[in-house]
Amino acid sequence: QEMKLFTVMFSYLLLLGLYTPPSLSDSPPLQDMCPMAPQDERKLFMNGYLCKHPSTILASDFKTLLLNHAGKLDNMVRSSANIVTAAEFPGLNTLGMSMARTDIDSYGIVLPHSHPRASEMMFVHDGSVLAGFFDTTGKLFQKRLCEGDVFIFPRGLVHFIMNYGLRLATTFSVLNSQNPGVVGITHAMFAPDSDVVEGLVARMMKFREMEIPDNKTTDFPWTY
Protein backbone atom coordinates (compact mmCIF):
# COMPACT_ATOMS: atom_id res chain seq x y z
CA GLN A 1 0.00 0.00 0.00
CA GLU A 2 2.83 2.44 0.91
CA MET A 3 4.67 1.58 -2.32
CA LYS A 4 1.53 2.29 -4.35
CA LEU A 5 1.03 5.62 -2.59
CA PHE A 6 4.68 6.54 -3.21
CA THR A 7 4.31 5.69 -6.92
CA VAL A 8 1.21 7.89 -7.24
CA MET A 9 2.86 10.79 -5.42
CA PHE A 10 6.04 10.51 -7.50
CA SER A 11 4.03 10.47 -10.74
CA TYR A 12 2.09 13.53 -9.62
CA LEU A 13 5.26 15.48 -8.77
CA LEU A 14 6.84 14.47 -12.08
CA LEU A 15 3.82 15.72 -14.05
CA LEU A 16 3.73 18.90 -11.99
CA GLY A 17 7.37 19.57 -12.88
CA LEU A 18 6.79 18.91 -16.58
CA TYR A 19 3.72 21.11 -16.86
CA THR A 20 4.62 24.01 -14.57
CA PRO A 21 3.56 27.25 -16.29
CA PRO A 22 6.44 29.53 -17.36
CA SER A 23 5.16 32.20 -14.98
CA LEU A 24 6.07 29.94 -12.05
CA SER A 25 9.61 29.26 -13.24
CA ASP A 26 12.70 31.29 -12.39
CA SER A 27 13.06 34.65 -14.13
CA PRO A 28 16.09 35.00 -16.41
CA PRO A 29 19.00 36.86 -14.80
CA LEU A 30 19.52 40.55 -15.49
CA GLN A 31 23.20 40.57 -14.58
CA ASP A 32 26.14 38.35 -15.50
CA MET A 33 26.24 36.46 -12.19
CA CYS A 34 24.61 36.56 -8.76
CA PRO A 35 26.29 34.33 -6.11
CA MET A 36 24.52 34.21 -2.75
CA ALA A 37 25.97 36.66 -0.25
CA PRO A 38 26.89 35.41 3.26
CA GLN A 39 24.05 35.92 5.70
CA ASP A 40 25.88 38.63 7.66
CA GLU A 41 26.54 40.59 4.43
CA ARG A 42 23.11 40.38 2.86
CA LYS A 43 21.52 43.64 1.77
CA LEU A 44 18.63 44.28 -0.59
CA PHE A 45 19.81 43.50 -4.13
CA MET A 46 17.17 42.66 -6.70
CA ASN A 47 17.25 41.04 -10.13
CA GLY A 48 16.40 44.40 -11.64
CA TYR A 49 15.47 47.65 -9.90
CA LEU A 50 12.95 48.66 -7.26
CA CYS A 51 9.86 50.45 -8.54
CA LYS A 52 8.99 54.03 -7.65
CA HIS A 53 5.95 54.56 -5.46
CA PRO A 54 2.93 55.00 -7.79
CA SER A 55 2.26 58.46 -6.38
CA THR A 56 5.72 59.68 -7.46
CA ILE A 57 5.66 58.46 -11.09
CA LEU A 58 5.95 61.27 -13.63
CA ALA A 59 5.61 61.54 -17.41
CA SER A 60 9.30 62.51 -17.51
CA ASP A 61 10.18 58.98 -16.31
CA PHE A 62 9.18 57.77 -19.79
CA LYS A 63 11.14 60.30 -21.87
CA THR A 64 14.87 60.38 -22.59
CA LEU A 65 17.21 62.62 -24.56
CA LEU A 66 20.13 60.19 -24.36
CA LEU A 67 19.85 59.15 -28.02
CA ASN A 68 19.45 62.64 -29.47
CA HIS A 69 23.06 63.25 -30.47
CA ALA A 70 25.79 61.34 -32.24
CA GLY A 71 28.64 59.95 -30.16
CA LYS A 72 32.33 60.72 -30.56
CA LEU A 73 33.86 59.23 -33.69
CA ASP A 74 37.50 60.26 -33.16
CA ASN A 75 38.71 56.74 -32.38
CA MET A 76 40.44 53.95 -34.26
CA VAL A 77 37.21 52.29 -35.38
CA ARG A 78 35.50 55.60 -36.30
CA SER A 79 32.24 54.64 -34.59
CA SER A 80 30.21 55.17 -31.44
CA ALA A 81 27.56 52.96 -29.82
CA ASN A 82 25.35 54.17 -26.98
CA ILE A 83 23.07 51.65 -25.23
CA VAL A 84 20.38 53.03 -22.93
CA THR A 85 19.10 50.58 -20.33
CA ALA A 86 16.81 50.82 -17.32
CA ALA A 87 19.80 52.07 -15.32
CA GLU A 88 19.79 55.29 -17.37
CA PHE A 89 16.12 55.44 -18.42
CA PRO A 90 13.79 54.69 -15.45
CA GLY A 91 10.71 54.11 -17.60
CA LEU A 92 12.26 50.95 -19.07
CA ASN A 93 12.29 49.14 -15.72
CA THR A 94 10.34 45.82 -15.84
CA LEU A 95 9.43 46.34 -19.53
CA GLY A 96 12.08 43.94 -20.83
CA MET A 97 13.66 46.29 -23.35
CA SER A 98 16.52 48.70 -23.92
CA MET A 99 17.56 50.96 -26.81
CA ALA A 100 20.72 51.89 -28.65
CA ARG A 101 22.08 54.44 -31.09
CA THR A 102 25.07 53.67 -33.31
CA ASP A 103 26.93 56.23 -35.40
CA ILE A 104 29.54 55.08 -37.91
CA ASP A 105 31.75 57.41 -39.92
CA SER A 106 32.88 56.63 -43.45
CA TYR A 107 35.02 53.48 -43.37
CA GLY A 108 34.09 53.02 -39.73
CA ILE A 109 33.12 49.76 -38.04
CA VAL A 110 31.49 48.40 -34.90
CA LEU A 111 33.75 45.50 -33.92
CA PRO A 112 32.30 42.00 -33.34
CA HIS A 113 30.41 41.70 -30.07
CA SER A 114 27.40 39.92 -28.61
CA HIS A 115 24.53 40.56 -26.20
CA PRO A 116 24.20 37.53 -23.89
CA ARG A 117 20.71 38.42 -22.69
CA ALA A 118 18.98 39.92 -25.73
CA SER A 119 18.23 39.83 -29.43
CA GLU A 120 18.62 43.13 -31.26
CA MET A 121 16.39 44.67 -33.93
CA MET A 122 18.27 47.42 -35.79
CA PHE A 123 16.72 50.17 -37.95
CA VAL A 124 18.89 52.15 -40.38
CA HIS A 125 18.04 55.82 -39.95
CA ASP A 126 20.68 57.45 -42.17
CA GLY A 127 23.24 56.22 -44.67
CA SER A 128 23.96 52.62 -45.60
CA VAL A 129 25.64 49.89 -43.57
CA LEU A 130 26.84 46.34 -43.89
CA ALA A 131 25.53 44.23 -41.02
CA GLY A 132 26.20 40.61 -40.23
CA PHE A 133 26.31 37.90 -37.59
CA PHE A 134 27.83 34.45 -37.16
CA ASP A 135 25.91 31.37 -36.08
CA THR A 136 27.37 28.74 -33.75
CA THR A 137 28.96 26.88 -36.68
CA GLY A 138 30.88 29.98 -37.78
CA LYS A 139 28.69 30.68 -40.79
CA LEU A 140 28.37 34.34 -41.75
CA PHE A 141 25.01 35.99 -42.48
CA GLN A 142 25.44 39.53 -43.76
CA LYS A 143 23.42 42.07 -45.75
CA ARG A 144 23.87 45.55 -47.11
CA LEU A 145 21.20 47.81 -45.60
CA CYS A 146 19.89 51.19 -46.72
CA GLU A 147 17.80 53.86 -44.99
CA GLY A 148 14.59 52.36 -43.64
CA ASP A 149 15.86 48.77 -43.62
CA VAL A 150 15.64 46.58 -40.52
CA PHE A 151 17.98 43.73 -39.53
CA ILE A 152 17.85 41.23 -36.66
CA PHE A 153 20.80 40.02 -34.58
CA PRO A 154 19.73 36.85 -32.71
CA ARG A 155 20.38 36.65 -28.99
CA GLY A 156 23.93 35.81 -27.96
CA LEU A 157 25.35 35.60 -31.50
CA VAL A 158 28.45 37.58 -32.47
CA HIS A 159 27.61 40.45 -34.83
CA PHE A 160 29.12 43.57 -36.40
CA ILE A 161 28.19 46.67 -38.40
CA MET A 162 30.25 48.78 -40.79
CA ASN A 163 29.58 51.87 -42.86
CA TYR A 164 29.01 50.93 -46.49
CA GLY A 165 28.79 54.47 -47.85
CA LEU A 166 30.83 57.68 -47.91
CA ARG A 167 28.89 59.65 -45.30
CA LEU A 168 27.86 59.21 -41.69
CA ALA A 169 25.55 56.26 -41.03
CA THR A 170 23.20 56.15 -38.03
CA THR A 171 21.16 53.22 -36.74
CA PHE A 172 18.73 52.82 -33.85
CA SER A 173 18.10 49.50 -32.13
CA VAL A 174 15.69 47.91 -29.67
CA LEU A 175 16.91 44.99 -27.54
CA ASN A 176 14.53 42.69 -25.68
CA SER A 177 16.14 42.98 -22.24
CA GLN A 178 16.40 45.92 -19.89
CA ASN A 179 20.03 44.89 -19.34
CA PRO A 180 21.22 43.08 -22.49
CA GLY A 181 24.93 43.11 -21.66
CA VAL A 182 27.75 43.62 -24.16
CA VAL A 183 30.62 41.19 -24.67
CA GLY A 184 33.28 42.72 -26.90
CA ILE A 185 35.16 39.88 -28.55
CA THR A 186 38.38 41.84 -29.09
CA HIS A 187 38.29 44.35 -26.24
CA ALA A 188 37.86 41.51 -23.76
CA MET A 189 41.38 40.31 -24.60
CA PHE A 190 43.26 43.18 -26.23
CA ALA A 191 43.72 46.91 -25.75
CA PRO A 192 41.47 48.97 -28.05
CA ASP A 193 44.47 50.45 -29.88
CA SER A 194 46.49 47.22 -30.14
CA ASP A 195 47.94 45.82 -33.37
CA VAL A 196 45.58 42.85 -33.08
CA VAL A 197 42.49 45.07 -33.15
CA GLU A 198 43.95 47.12 -36.00
CA GLY A 199 44.57 43.94 -37.99
CA LEU A 200 41.03 42.73 -37.34
CA VAL A 201 39.60 46.01 -38.60
CA ALA A 202 41.67 45.73 -41.79
CA ARG A 203 40.49 42.15 -42.41
CA MET A 204 36.86 42.95 -41.74
CA MET A 205 36.94 45.80 -44.23
CA LYS A 206 37.26 43.08 -46.87
CA PHE A 207 33.65 42.15 -46.06
CA ARG A 208 32.65 45.27 -48.02
CA GLU A 209 33.95 43.59 -51.16
CA MET A 210 32.06 40.34 -50.62
CA GLU A 211 28.87 39.73 -52.58
CA ILE A 212 26.57 37.22 -50.86
CA PRO A 213 23.27 36.44 -52.67
CA ASP A 214 20.05 36.67 -50.65
CA ASN A 215 19.66 32.90 -50.38
CA LYS A 216 23.31 32.18 -49.55
CA THR A 217 25.64 32.37 -46.55
CA THR A 218 29.38 31.94 -46.28
CA ASP A 219 32.09 30.96 -43.84
CA PHE A 220 34.13 33.61 -42.05
CA PRO A 221 36.79 34.73 -44.58
CA TRP A 222 39.83 34.93 -42.29
CA THR A 223 42.10 33.83 -45.13
CA TYR A 224 40.71 36.09 -47.85
Known binding-site residues for Mn(2+) equal 113, 115, 120, 159
CA distance 103 to 43: 40
Residues annotated within the binding site for oxalate are 115, 120
Residues annotated within the binding site are 113, 115, 120, 159
SS (H, E, C) the chain: CHHHHHHHHHHHHHHHHHCCCHHHCCCCCCCCCCCCCCHHHCCCCCCCCCCCCHHHCCHHHHCCCCCCCCCCCCCCCCEEEEEECCCCCHHHCCCCCEEEEEEECCCCEEEEEECCCCCEEEEEEECCEEEEEECCCCEEEEEEECCCCEEEECCCCCEEEEECCCCCEEEEEEECCCCCCCEECCCCCCCCCCHHHHHHHHHHHHHHHCCCCCCCCEECCCCC
Single-letter amino acid code for the residue at 190: F
